[in-house]
Amino acid sequence: MTNFVLPKLCFVAGTLEHGGAERQLFYTLRALCEAGVAPRLLTLDQGQFWEARIQALGVPIRRVGQRGSRLARLWQVVREVRRDPPAALQSQHFYANAYVGMAARLFRISGIGAMRNDGHTEVAGCGSVGGRLNLHLPTTLAANSQRALQYAAARGVPAGRLYFLPNVVDTDWFEPPVGESAPVPFTLVTVGRLVRQKRLDRFLAILARLRTEAGLEVRGLIAGPGCQDEDLRPELESQARRLGLLPGFVEFRGGVSDIRAVYQQAAVCILTSDFEGTPNVLLEAMASGLPVVATRVGGVPEIVQDGETGLLVEPDDLDKQVAAVAALVRNPERRARLGSRGRAYVEAHHSLKRLPVYLTGLYQQALHPRRRPVNAGIRRASI
């Protein structure tokens, strides 16, 4: 990576299911393995989408979530750390930060926490006590959006403990399809877990109004699974039937092993979430040359410059969401322009090739907090 000698690392993940945080974990582990580091992974669950892919890297995985009690899980993490102490223990999900922070403090090693959304929703989702512990226990907090870093700073986390770790995407894998014509039928895609955060009910409403009010021959593709605690597929399918989209005009693809093929089947990518950090979906779609229409939430405005690399709309303004998508459907030149600019932006700022630099800075700060790297804290990395 650089002349900096990378430390012995152990990661803690809440899940290895489909999702942006899990894809970023895979990228990180692969980059570390390529740099000669031998990381290991503790997970609260097992038998999920990314598990076999991570094991294929040569990364050993140990489950520490057999027991539902938080104290029992913490004890299992402590046992694993004691068995083979790393220089740094790193969380991949906000709700696992407390396990990392407590175990790291017990063994006097570096504890690196994660923030994957806007901060507020993550803290609220863990409750007042749990949210505070997950926010403050790690000695370093890595977030993928400036919005999350600003939230943490406003809640008393010192700036020297904050690090901006941008999401990255493999721009050699996600690339524009050959040919410039829109796919037939004209397809709008949204990618994400079938949970309330993603507000896929909005996507269905947009699709229906484009067909009935704007008279546009468009179809929809929804790619993504539910999760154990929340799966809205039956509810969304019922809505699609009421709107006349099923059968024939929207497809629920479920979890997809090769998401690249999904983007190459589409002409426009739509994100309708209520909150986000820096969505992998948008970075992947932009890398694939797709124009994007996204809600102005969380870290989305950091990567989608309205009118330049995509279009931004307010979450609750369905009329403007419909109008923005309709304008792109009718204007192939604008679709091509936004798609090209979005691809160029991702290549410059979020390419997988930048990850070693970002990780080196993170571990330098975590192990030597008095030596703040260039892109630490609440400002964008210098690229």
Question: In CATH, what number is assigned to the domain containing residue 228?
Answer: 3.40.50.2000
Shared-domain flag, residues 248 and 112: no
- The residue to which tokens 């923005």 are assigned: 324
Residue 94 lies in a domain: yes
Shared-domain flag, residues 111 and 232: no
Paired residues of 222 in beta bridges:
190, 252
Give long-range contacts, CB 8 A cutoff, 24+ apart: 280-285. Answer: 280/20, 280/23, 280/24, 280/167, 280/169, 281/20, 281/190, 281/191, 281/192, 282/310, 283/167, 283/168, 283/169, 283/346, 283/350, 284/169, 284/174, 284/191, 284/259, 284/260, 285/189, 285/191, 285/342
pLDDT of residue 226: 82
Shared-domain flag, residues 334 and 357: no
pLDDT of residue 380: 37
Cβ neighbours of residue 223 under 8 Å, at least 6 residues apart? 189, 190, 191, 253, 254, 255, 256, 259, 262
Residue 181 lies in a domain: no
Shared-domain flag, residues 156 and 55: yes
Residue 379 lies in a domain: no
pTM for the full model?
A: 0.88
Shared-domain flag, residues 108 and 15: yes
Shared-domain flag, residues 316 and 359: no
Residue 49 lies in a domain: yes
Shared-domain flag, residues 111 and 138: yes
Range of the domain at 107: 9-168+352-367
| Contact present, 113 and 138 (Cβ < 8 Å) | yes
Shared-domain flag, residues 24 and 38: yes
Shared-domain flag, residues 216 and 275: yes
pLDDT of residue 374: 46
Shared-domain flag, residues 298 and 359: no
Residue 380 lies in a domain: no
Shared-domain flag, residues 158 and 211: no
Q: Give the chain's residues under pLDDT 70.
A: 1-4, 179-181, 228, 369-383
Shared-domain flag, residues 27 and 155: yes
Maximum C-alpha span of the chain: 64
Count of domains forming the chain: 2
pLDDT of residue 378: 45
Residue 239 lies in a domain: yes
Residue 374 lies in a domain: no
